[in-house]
Amino acid sequence: MSRMQKLAQQFNQFFGYQGTHECHAPGRVNLIGEHTDYNGGFVLPAAINFGTDIVAAKRDDNKVKVLAVDINEEVSEFALNDIQFDEQYSWSNYVRGVLIALQKVFPKVGGADLAVSGNVPQGAGLSSSASFEIAVLKCFASLYELPLDGVKAALLGQQAENEFVGCSCGIMDQLISAMGHKGHAMLLDCESLDIAHSSIPAALDLVIINSNVKRGLVDSEYNTRREQCETAARAMGFKTLRPATMQDLQASKDKMSDAEYRRAHHVITENQRTKDMFDALNAADMATMSRLMGESHVSMRDDFEITTSQIDYLVEIIGDVIKEQGGVRMTGGGFGGCVVSLVPKNLTEAVKQVVNEKYEAKTGLKASIFVCSAEQGAFAG
C-alpha cells in the first residue's frame, strides 16, 4: 500500500467518508548557492522524493478541520473568517497562515477536511515547512478550481511563513516545491524569480547525509550573517550584494570589517559558482561539478563560517571516495544539518559504508543517509 493509499484510508476512518482529492508537494535539497537567496542571488535546488501528502474534501461550511496523522493524530479546527495563531498545535499555523494569504487573493475559498502526512526528515534542513505550505495551496486550488500558478503559490507560501508563522525565509524552498522538474535541478534567480532547469546526469544518485548535529545557534547566527551582508552591500553603494563584483569588493575593502568582507566574498563567488554549476550539470561535466561543490564548501567554512567540524569531516570522507567523479558540500543554513552529494551510482554503497564506519567513531554521532531522486513540483504540471 502506498503512503497516499494509507492516508486515504486514515481520512476515511477519521472523517467517515471518502476524500475526493489527493495532493503531494516535495521537500528539497539545495545543490549549490548557500545564503545567496536573501542577497538577491542564485540558487540551484532540486525537489526530492520526500514530501507532504494530503487527502482532502470540500465542506459545505467555512470550517477547516485538519488531521495530522504523524503527530499523534492531533486535530486542529478553525473557521476561515476567524483564523488565530495556535499556540498549542504549532504545526497548524502553516495551514492557517497559508489560508489567510490565499483568501486575500481568492476571497470565496470555502472549508475543507484534510488528512496530512509527511516524510521529510524533521530538522534536517530539507524544507518540510515549504512542502507543507505548497501541498495545502495545491489542495485548495484543486478543491476550488482556483487559477493559481506555481510562482504565485510559492509567494503565498513565503508570505504565510514570513507574516504568520514568523520565519523570515527566502523564496527558494516554496518555489522548488511548486516548480521542480523530475530528474532536474532548478536555477532560480531570487531577484527576478526567473527559473531554468538543468538535467541531473542519470548516472548520479542524490545522496543526503544528515549529520544529526543539534543546530543550536542557527537563528541568531543567521540574522548576524544577513546584517553583515547588508552592511557590506551598503559599503559598496548597493541595496543587496546581487550587483556586486569582486572589483567592487576590493575597492571597498577598507570600508568594512574583515568579517563583512569575507561574508560578501562568499556571496559574490557563490553566485558565480551556482551559475557555473548549472552549465556543468547540463554538460555532465563531473570534474567541474566536483570542483565547484568543493569550493562552495570551503567558502562556507572559511568565509561564511557556518560549517561544523562534524560536517567538515563528512565532506572529507565522502570526497575521498568519490573524488572528481561526483561532488559534496554542506547544504542549508549551517551549524549542523546536512551534507549533499552527487554520487556515481556505482559508488553509493561505498559512500554509505565509509559514513557508517567512520563518522560515528570520530564524532560520537550516527548519521542518517537518504538516497534521493529529483522529483516533480506540485504545480509543475
Q: How far is CA 159 from CA 11, 130, 167, in A?
A: 29, 11, 10
Nearest CA to 241 out of 33, 34, 41 is that of: 41
The one-letter amino acid at 42: F
Which residue among the candidates 53, 113, 173, 248 is catalytic per the annotation? 173
Pairing of strands 42-58, 195-199: unpaired
Instruction: Read off the C-alpha cell for 224.
Output: 548576524
Nearest CA to 186 out of 13, 379, 10 is that of: 379
Instruction: Read off the C-alpha cell for 45.
Output: 535546488
> Which residues are CB-neighbours of 247 under 8 A, at least 6 positions away?
none
Order of all β-strands in the sheet with 327-331? 327-331, 338-344, 204-210, 368-372
How many H-runs (helices) and E-runs (strands) does the chain carry?
A: 12, 11
Is 173 considered catalytic here?
Answer: yes
Concatenating the DSSP letter of every residue in 229-259 gives: HHHHHHHTT-SSSTT--HHHHHHTGGGS-HH
* Active centre residues (catalytic): 173
